[in-house]
Amino acid sequence: MVHGRKCVHELATHPQVIFLDAVGTLFGVKSSVGTVYAEVAQQFGVEVSAAALNQAFLQSFRAAGSPAFDTVDQAELQEREFAWWLTIATNTFKQAGVWHQFSDFDEFFAALYAHFATAAPWVVYPDVKPALERWQRMGIPLGLLSNFDSRLYSVLESLALAPFFTSVTLSTQVGAAKPDPKIFSIALQKHDCLPNAAWHIGDSFEEDYQAAKAVGMRGIWLRRNKGVGVGV
């Protein structure tokens, strides 16, 4: 396991490519998912506790399975991504006991889904851009490797992070989600890189650190709750 400051000095080894996770690594929700859900729900006349929504969301999200779909058609992919999140949101508000209060839940969810495609609910961690700029100056290509959906492209643009990445590999687009070795293999192929020449940095011990090591990459566990940043 590698800690932030130690990695700065070890970059002398110059990996051929550094992959990074997105949510929880580069940026996160400004407050909590429950808070954002509650704020948007309020715009539709529904009052609900952010804490109750947050707890219900975590349960619904865990029960949803991996966001990875066996389709290459872009229109169908976006429909399946939308439907996947609709199920999570529906279950979240039902568990919170307020789903029946919406006059048109589909209209509400469309607004909620679009909201998360903007910069509004997100915050870039303060250590991120300095680290990305440092690696860019060193000439190290960067790839994004995430269990997210195609909205990530617009989020990266709106957060001014897109120019740093030469590749983006998303679970919904490649039909495999971390910790599945397939998603790492596809990301490596984009850079014509062997696993032992690549690093992967992420905030999940299982999906990022352990999964990367399992395929022969150097896994770096980013423990933000313990104050370790991406300046590695």
> Which pLDDT score is estimated for 71?
72
Q: 227 falls in which pLDDT band (50, 70, 90)?
A: very low
Range in 54-58, 65-69, 191-195 the model is least confident about = 65-69
**Token duo for residue 188:** 């490596």
Average pLDDT estimate for 120-144: 97
> pLDDT grade, residue 148 (50/70/90)?
very high
CATH superfamily name and code, 4-29+122-226 = HAD superfamily/HAD-like (3.40.50.1000)
pTM of the full predicted structure?
0.89
| Inter-residue contact 20 to 142 (CB < 8 Å) | yes
> According to the model, what pLDDT value does residue 73 have?
83
The pLDDT of 195-199, averaged and rounded, is 97
**Exposure string for 122-144, b = 16+ CB within 10 A, e = fewer:** beebebbbebbeebeeeeebbbb
pLDDT grade for 70, boundaries at 50, 70 and 90: confident
CA angle 58, 62, 64 (to 5 degrees): 120
Give residue limits of the domains in the chain. 4-29+122-226, 33-115
Q: What is the pLDDT of residue 224?
A: 83
What pLDDT is stored for residue 72 in this prediction? Answer: 67
DSSP one-letter code for 208:
I
Fold match, 4-29+122-226 / 33-115: no
Class of domain 33-115: mainly alpha
Q: Is-contact 172 149, C-beta < 8 A? A: yes
Residue 35 confidence (pLDDT): 97
140-164 mean pLDDT: 98
pLDDT at position 2 over 60:
no
